[in-house]
Amino acid sequence: MTDDADFTPEQMMDSLYWWGVPTLFGCEHHKRLEEIDIALVGVPHSAGNGTTERDQHLGPRAVRNVSRQLRRVHLEYNFDPWKTTHIADVGDVPFPEANDNEACIQRISDFITELDQAEINPVSIGGDHSITGGIVQSLGGGKLAAGQAVSLLHIDAHTDVFEQLDHFLGAKKSAAHWGSYLVHQGDVDAGSSVQLGLRGNPRTLDWLQPSYDLGYEVIPMKRYRQLGIAATCEIIRKRLDGRPVYITFDLDSLDPTVAPAVSNLEPAEEGLRMDETRTLLQCLRGFNVIGGDVVCMMPTKDSPNNITAYVASAIMFEIMCLIADRKLASA
């Protein structure tokens, strides 16, 4: 056992979320790209949701506030990602045109392109789900994807494949459109992508048809419950095998009792639990996961213990560890 005298005062305080300057997981905050393997990115953007629930831009700050407490080792992978990989909080994407969704999506793309050109894997916290469009349109065909279109593991209560209208309350590259326009732009290969966790009371009976038409493998919650987690993981692995993979995780895929502070809650059908969420993510261990994001957190709706912020941190940690573990294995 290590004697307490071996610890500096800073180390003794390090796991206390309320101590120190808040960064993602307590990482050093800098943008010296030559020193970074994995970049943790804040994307405080709300203009792509188009609804009155516009507080999703507060998500990065809320996760920075608590995530130091989740800076831990990974028991299943038996490694400490903080010691094996250079990980830094590179700050937030700047949004001087915060109410102009299309300008913000371009800002996101420019920020991520810089990381991609340096072959740094981005793991982001949003922000509404439109941020995925800005991120992936920079990764598709980029260096991290080795010039290929990206394959998605998209975990969400909603399809985000809006084809019948060219905008959502004025936002063109919106939270409802990114799953469609990325395919049409050639940034995403829907034929090797999976949408998982879709549920709720949709507005139309054909709500899944645009996803089928584009070529996504669609696993709504009812199908997931019928298949079971082992068979679902097998579909995911077979679909994404050999591909550059991007994981986008919408917190509304979780049951509202697990993550209450999200936009567009779907309480009509039980969502995912954390243990099965971790299993679904960990089934991609060893795969070429080039990046990921966690989106749609609403800190102003969170419980006093900040449970949704903690949950968002835990999912970010899993995505980050998939990347760090593969880097360690290939070193």
Residue 7 lies in a domain: no
Residue 14: inside a domain:
no
Which pLDDT does position 1 carry in this prediction? Answer: 38
Q: Is residue 142 classed as helix, strand or coil in its secondary structure?
A: coil
Q: What is the pLDDT along the chain (331 residues), one digit of tens a residue?
A: 344 556 788 777 777 778 888 999 999 999 999 999 999 999 999 988 866 677 999 999 999 999 999 989 999 999 999 999 999 999 999 999 999 999 999 999 999 999 999 999 999 999 999 999 999 999 999 999 999 999 999 999 999 998 777 767 667 787 788 999 999 999 999 999 999 999 987 888 889 999 999 999 999 999 999 999 999 999 999 999 999 999 999 999 999 999 999 988 999 999 999 999 999 999 999 999 999 999 999 999 999 999 999 999 999 999 999 999 999 999 7
Whether 306 maps to a domain, the answer reads: yes
Considering the domain boundaries, does residue 57 fall inside one?
yes
> Is-contact 14 68, C-beta < 8 A?
yes
| Inter-residue contact 123 to 292 (CB < 8 Å) | yes
Structural domain count of the chain:
1
226: in domain: yes
* Structural domain boundaries, residue 229: 27-330
pLDDT at 169: 66
The answer to whether residue 279 is domain-embedded is yes
Residue 116 within any structural domain of the chain: yes
Are 133 and 181 spatial neighbours (Cβ–Cβ below 8 Å)? yes
Closest CA to 170 of 54, 302, 294: 54
Whether residue 229 contacts residue 253, with contact meaning beta carbons closer than 8 Å, is answered with: no
- Domain assignment present for 323: yes
Helices (H), 118-199: 131-139, 178-184
Q: Which domain CATH number covers 231?
A: 3.40.800.10
Residue 298 pLDDT: 94
What string of DSSP letters covers 14-58? Answer: TT-TTSSS--GGG--B---GGG-SEEEEEE---TTT-SS--GGGG
